[in-house]
């Protein structure tokens, strides 16, 4: 069935005409996609699609039951696979990582407790902290002296520190070794959101804890199925069985939401299994990231990050960032512009994200377009 796009009066964005891979159909033509979360190129992998289709035929579009009421063998297998991937005892599925982060902040701490959040954490973490009955504190990005001073203040029954593993707008990875030491000194639990890290960075693509040599030392990990693991809707929390049981029994954002569809769970399970058995995808992603970053830096673009595939190309001026994104798309490369209110005014950027699906020829072709457009617009 063909769907004709309609005008809604809102700002226009590209219309996808097929699956996301190294390239995709946008507005009726093929372009190189350097702005998706399809890190391992699994969103259209034949095994992932076949497993999702099989589950759709067997279980239908969805279970039509809240998660505490019923599950399927596929959901249970996915939880077990995510626990193995993160080398933890247990895992619990949510319908998004937003729900997972809010559930952690609102369930594991409450009145009389404190929760401490990095200033550059993802919006879902920020919202979870705001919704929690615990007192919420914000520490400056990667400023551990600031965090430690806050943790040392008396008056809290329980303390929970929560951070992104990879910060989504900056591309840098958290210094987990320092955070772990600080949390231990002050009796605080540490939660790490690995949404942009799981399957992506570290040995075997096992995330920030693996990258920093800290596996097994983080109290809880949250993550998403919507990025490296096939780009399906859904999120999860992984950690000790007792903590996961508490979230299962008391987490309102688990209990009163709908379940991940069986087809999404089956496809994501296939993606997790592929990521665990084939680390060549994570290695290819790292190679593509290095090639893209080196090429952009050589052209004269100002970059942030360096720990992950997220490559912020700093422009500053919001109109100029939007113009660069539009001109790139016109010449066959898609990279979205990120502007206020997602980032502060004056810090507009393009967020480039290569994929394991890209070939070296794809990266080089995209760099040639960046060179031409960047010079035409006077950015480089």
Q: Could you report the per-residue pLDDT of 65-91, keeping only the tens digit for each?
A: 888 888 999 999 999 999 999 999 999
Give the percent of the chain with pLDDT over 90: 93
pTM over 0.85: yes
Identified catalytic residue from 122, 159, 227, 358: 227
**Second CATH level (architecture) for the domain 46-277:** 3-Layer(aba) Sandwich (3.40)
**Average pLDDT over every residue of 170-178:** 97
CA dist 140 to 116, 135, 348, Å? 10, 17, 20
Q: What is the CATH number of domain 23-33+279-376?
A: 3.90.1150.10
What are the residue ranges of CATH 3.40.640.10 in the chain? 46-277
**pLDDT tens-digit readout, 30-48:** 999 999 999 999 999 999 9
- 32 CB burial (10 A radius; 0-12, 13-18, 19+): buried
Active site residue 308: no
Active site residue 86: no
What are the residue ranges of CATH 3.90.1150.10 in the chain? 23-33+279-376
**Average pLDDT over every residue of 53-62:** 95
Active site residue 261: no
Q: Given this model, what pLDDT does residue 7 score?
A: 53
**β partners of residue 239:** 90
Q: Given this model, what pLDDT does residue 335 score?
A: 97
Q: How far apart are CA 107 and CA 253, in angstroms?
A: 9
Residue 107 pLDDT > 90? yes
**Average pLDDT over every residue of 11-21:** 86
Q: Given this model, what pLDDT does residue 71 score?
A: 92
Identified catalytic residue from 168, 195, 308, 325: 168
Q: Given this model, what pLDDT does residue 8 score?
A: 52
pLDDT band at 253 (very low <50, low <70, confident <90, very high): very high
Identified catalytic residue from 86, 122, 196, 358: 196
**Average pLDDT over every residue of 224-244:** 97
In this structure, the dihedral spanned by the alpha carbons of residues 169, 170, 171 and 173, taken in order and rounded to 10 degrees, is: -120
The CA angle 189-194-196, to the nearest 5 degrees, is 155
CA dist 195 to 121, 159, 281, 316, Å? 12, 23, 17, 26
């Amino acid at each position: 069935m063909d769907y004709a796009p309609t005008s809604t009066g809102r700002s226009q964005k590209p219309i996808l005409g097929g699956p996301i891979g190294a390239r995709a159909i946008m507005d009726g033509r093929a372009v190189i996609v350097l702005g998706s979360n399809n890190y391992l190129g699994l969103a259209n992998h034949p095994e992932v699609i076949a497993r999702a289709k099989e589950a759709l035929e067997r279980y239908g579009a969805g279970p039509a039951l809240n998660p505490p009421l019923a599950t399927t063998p596929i959901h249970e297998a996915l939880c077990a696979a995510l626990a193995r991937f993160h080398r933890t005892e247990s895992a619990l599925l949510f319908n998004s990582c937003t729900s997972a982060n809010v559930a952690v902040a609102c369930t594991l701490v409450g009145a009389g407790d404190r929760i401490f959040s990095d200033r550059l954490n993802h919006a879902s973490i920020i919202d979870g902290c705001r919704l929690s009955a615990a007192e919420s504190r914000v520490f400056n990005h990667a400023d551990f002296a600031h965090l430690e001073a806050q943790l040392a203040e008396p008056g809290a029954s329980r303390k929970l520190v929560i951070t992104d593993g990879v910060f989504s707008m900056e591309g840098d990875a958290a210094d987990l070794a320092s955070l772990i030491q600080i949390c231990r000194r002050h009796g605080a639990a540490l939660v790490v959101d690995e949404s942009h890290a799981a399957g992506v960075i570290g040995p075997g693509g096992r995330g920030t804890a693996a990258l920093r040599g800290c596996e097994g030392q983080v109290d809880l990990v949250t993550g998403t199925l919507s990025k490296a693991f096939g780009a399906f809707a859904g999120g999860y929390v992984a950690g000790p069985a007792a903590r996961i049981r508490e979230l299962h029994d008391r987490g309102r954002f688990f209990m009163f939401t709908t379940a991940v569809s069986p087809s999404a769970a089956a496809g994501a399970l296939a993606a997790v299994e592929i990521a665990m058995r084939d680390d060549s995808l994570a290695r290819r992603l790292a190679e593509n990231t290095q090639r893209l970053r080196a090429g952009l830096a050589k052209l004269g673009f100002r970059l942030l990050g360096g720990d992950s595939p997220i490559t912020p190309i700093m422009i500053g001026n919001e109109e100029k960032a939007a113009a660069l994104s539009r001109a790139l798309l016109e010449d066959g490369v898609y990279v979205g512009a990120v502007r206020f209110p997602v980032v502060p005014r004056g810090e507009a950027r393009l967020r480039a994200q290569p994929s394991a699906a890209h070939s070296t020829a794809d990266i080089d072709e995209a760099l040639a377009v960046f060179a031409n457009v960047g010079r035409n617009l006077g950015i480089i």
